[in-house]
Amino acid sequence: MKVALGQFVISSEWQSNAETCQILMARAVQAGAELLILPEACMAQDGSDADGVLRLAQPLDGPFVSQLLTASRGSTLTTIAGMHTPSGDGLVYNVLVVVRDGRLIAHYNKLHLYDAWEMKESKNVKPGSEVPPLLEVAGFNVGLMTCYDLRFPDMARRLVMDGADVLVVPSAWVKGPLKEKHWEVLATARALENTSYLIGVSACGGRNIGNSLVIDPMGMAIAHAAEEPALIFAELDKTRLAQVRHALPVLENQRFARPQLRNEQDA
């Protein structure tokens, strides 16, 4: 499967970001990609206004998603992009949307909110309550995670135990001391400990690091962007995946049960 990673500087104007997304979608199609991953919250982001997500949010049937759906028609490309949607109680969800051939085929409300490094995402964002469903793309099972989710190994392991071959992590990874190192170490660890591919795409510019990457099941980086806007590509190989899982059968050898959300355990 050929995958495309599109990192860009997210503005506070959704129309400008939607145009960028559509350009990247067209370039990915032209290059023969089957999966395009765009950053977290790429619909709109205002780093100068902590409460801006409340003002910028749109429903799933709003104009941003509508433009992505229109751009996706007539193509087999699967596109994953981030946005905020109203939760109905004065807060918003941090959402990944998945579009293909004019249809919204899935969405995921971010589970782990970024209440760290003196930031408090939960002030305005409501956490999701469900593990995201797996997506089938070109014969691969794809599991969705968002940014801060990368720091929680149980989530990655749950998705892989559910059948994921690929972990996709759209992000707006915030700059800070050693943060680029954290991004690379965590992405590598999640791929290697689960013998899965991992695709991490971060916004760039301003407060975000860029550095989008693809890690293979043996923990090797097979594609890596720098800090500027970019569209990069990588090939994922089912044979490589099978070979690594045969040589390093950690999923067969594990002794722990399948991780569950707390609300799943209570149900």
With vertex at residue 141, the alpha carbon angle to CA 138 and CA 142, rounded to the nearest 5 degrees, is 100
Active-site hit among 34, 42, 110, 126 = 110
Count of CA atoms in the C-beta half-sphere (13 A) of 164:
28
Query: Which amino acid type is present at position 207?
Result: R
Active-site hit among 21, 40, 42, 126 = 40
The answer to whether residue 181 is catalytic is no
For the chain, the helix, strand and coil percentages under 3-state DSSP, each to the nearest 5: 30, 25, 40
Q: How many other CB atoms are there within 10 angstroms of residue 228's CB atom?
A: 11
d(C-alpha 136, C-alpha 87), whole Å: 27
DSSP conformation letters of 117-182: TT--GGGTBPPP-SPPPPEEETTEEEEE--GGGGG-HHHHHHHHHTT-SEEEEEE-PBP-TTHHHH
The answer to whether residue 118 is catalytic is no
- Cβ neighbourhood burial of 240 (10 Å; 0-12, 13-18, 19+): middle
The answer to whether residue 120 is catalytic is no
Active site residues: 40, 110, 147
